[in-house]
Structure 1
Amino acid sequence: MSVAEHEAAILDLDGTVYLGDKLIPGAGETVQLLREEVGEVLFLTNKAIARRGDYSEKLRRLGIDVERSDVVNSGWVTAQYVSERFPSAAAFVVGEGPLLEEFREAGVTTVTETPGDIVVASMDRHFDYDTLETALRTLEDGAPFLATNPDRTCPTEKGAIPDAAGMIGAIEGVTGQTVDEVLGKPSATMVETALGEVGVDPGDCLMVGDRIETDIRMGDRAGMTTVLVLTGVTDREMIADVNVDPDYVLDSIADVEGLLVE
């Protein structure tokens, strides 16, 4: 199957479509071309420090026309999961305000200063010792330990910054308990949600991303056609160190145009 014969495309955001507040050159044109030549385009991000509406507003500000429903992020997916699986639990959330809002909107009780019934860990730029101690107290009796995403770093125009793996690792280190489930990429929950949004079979879908161990691993496991771009956290030397083989490796999302005319 040629790339142009696919019926939908799922695009990562940070390091793929933009870096910080700047579009990757050619990203806007590529999104438009994918919509014309392939079909629906869904934006899929592991970042939980903003909500879907925030990401859609940012994309519009950068010149890409999207609706909130065109974006799925790990915070929203995790909130829906907790609401369904642990409807009566109080979640101790290690995360920022937008993630807490996501949980509350999903009907989940949240706590931030006292132990809860479960721990949900995410990127938190205000993570401190008190947070770590409350997570320890929550997990002392074997409470479930969830996380929004496994990313070690997040790419920005100024370089990589620490992501959720730092918070997860700290909690695992003091509790001795390994995270039970991660809901963002490359999890089955994330891919099922994304494919449900675009409404196509995985074999008819492109997955374009910059992180080989999440974006490309997820697409590979699901049976999507995977496109690794080198504008974010992965370079060519790193590819050999990960047991994942992208279908295509491109310098930038702008080079997807060449795949569509093959």
Structure 2
Amino acid sequence: MGDWTMLPEVNEDREGILAGIECFALDMDGTVYLGERWIEGAREFLKRIEDSGKRYVFLTNNSSKNAQVYVEKLRRMGLEVGMDKVVTSGQATIYYLKRYFPGKRVFLLGNDMLAEEFEKEGIVLVEEKPEVVVTAFDTTLTYAKMCRVCDFVREGLPYIATHPDYNCPTETGFIPDVGAIHAFIHASAMRYPDRIIGKPNADMMDYLIERTGADRAKTVMVGDRLYTDIAAGRNNGLWSILVLSGEASMKDAEESEVKPHLIFDSVREIMRYL
């Protein structure tokens, strides 16, 4: 934990909490859209944030795409935003690598578009003799790729992951995410990642605060996952809102040790308090 002021364990003062929020950190998959479809009321919610003099930024663990792809996707869906509005676990991982492994050769288990973002930022990607292993949400996964990454992990190389999510929500259900890949690697190489960058971990949230310049105590993390989105807020000095439009259900929230400050059916329901 940092040196920020601890927030209340439970607080149902919706109007009071939201009145003090200046920045909304919004998860994407399962929170504002599913696939190529906006969750009902999400577009109006984004406009209401801006109309109320507040701001928002998209904060996603999904590293199967780079930030530019998200900007283009949102444009196809009718929302024009700049790169400054999108913060990804891939970007946070690049930041971490530059800080702690500058100039090191990296084997990246990830999609081509993420590899392009890494290389554009000066990360040296290699297929042989890497010095660091990075695993991301690779939707082009092959058995040959899995054999290679397991070999490198088994060698004892530093092993970094972009995020921990087990599943990614889609319009038709859930698909295995990088957490499932980690389970495969562990079964073969007997190691889990040494460092996981994305939500709920501090590296991602520190990167968010640095990028936005936001005050933690006036920032709320809004998402559909208890173990990533809500824990990210709880563990790092931000407010947290769980929406029930994606992965987590009310039953999950009731049974979880990680408790959101507030719960809404969807972001649409938040609008009345802005």
* Common topology (TM > 0.5): yes
Match of 1:203 among 192, 217, 221: 217
8 A Cα contact 1:4 1:37, kept in partner: no
Equivalents in 1 of 2:112, 2:137: separation in Å? 11
Task: Give the partner amino acid of 2:111.
Answer: E
Match of 1:87 among 102, 113, 116: 102
Equivalents in 2 of 1:37, 1:4: separation in Å? 10
Equivalents in 2 of 1:38, 1:169: separation in Å? 44
Equivalents in 2 of 1:157, 1:226: separation in Å? 25
Equivalents in 2 of 1:214, 1:252: separation in Å? 17
Match of 1:60 among 71, 75, 93: 75
Task: Give the partner amino acid of 1:104.
Answer: E
1:203-259 deviation digits (Å, cap 9, x = unpaired)? 111111111110110011122221110111111111133211111111111001123
**Corresponding residue SS for 2:255:** coil
Match of 1:218 among 221, 232, 241: 232
8 A Cα contact 2:56 2:85, kept in partner: yes
Match of 1:77 among 79, 92, 95: 92
Match of 2:124 among 109, 112, 120: 109
**Residue 259 in structure 1 maps to residue 262 in structure 2:** no
Equivalents in 1 of 2:223, 2:273: separation in Å? 15
Equivalents in 1 of 2:71, 2:140: separation in Å? 25
Task: Give the partner amino acid of 1:242.
Answer: S
Equivalents in 2 of 1:193, 1:164: separation in Å? 20
* Offset of residue 38 of structure 1: 4.9
Query: Where does the alignment leave 5 or more consecutive residues of structure 1 unmatched?
Result: none
Match of 1:193 among 197, 201, 207: 207
Equivalents in 2 of 1:215, 1:231: separation in Å? 13
Equivalents in 1 of 2:109, 2:92: separation in Å? 16
Corresponding residue number in structure 1 for 2:49: 34
8 A Cα contact 1:9 1:38, kept in partner: no
Aligned length: 259
Equivalents in 2 of 1:141, 1:162: separation in Å? 26
Corresponding residue number in structure 2 for 1:143: 157
* Offset of residue 63 of structure 1: 2.4
**Corresponding residue SS for 1:125:** coil
8 A Cα contact 2:107 2:130, kept in partner: yes
Greater mean deviation of Cα atoms: 70-79 or 135-144? 135-144
Corresponding residue number in structure 1 for 2:136: 122
Task: Give the partner amino acid of 2:270.
Answer: V
Query: Residues 44-59 of structure 1 correspond to what in structure 2 (within 5 A)?
Result: 44-59=59-74
Equivalents in 1 of 2:255, 2:196: separation in Å? 22
Task: Give the partner amino acid of 2:73.
Answer: K
Runs of at least 4 residues off by over 3 Å: none
Corresponding residue number in structure 1 for 2:12: none
* Offset of residue 22 of structure 1: 0.5
8 A Cα contact 2:154 2:190, kept in partner: no
Greater mean deviation of Cα atoms: 154-163 or 194-203? 194-203
RMSD: 1.5
* Offset of residue 170 of structure 1: 1.2
Identity %: 34
Query: Residues 237-256 of structure 1 correspond to what in structure 2 (within 5 A)?
Result: 237-256=251-270
Corresponding residue number in structure 1 for 2:184: 170
**Corresponding residue SS for 2:173:** coil
Query: Where does the alignment leave 5 or more consecutive residues of structure 2 unmatched?
Result: 1-15
- TM-score (normalised: structure 2): 0.90
Task: Give the partner amino acid of 1:52.
Answer: A
Corresponding residue number in structure 2 for 1:100: 115
**Corresponding residue SS for 2:56:** strand
- TM-score (normalised: structure 1): 0.94
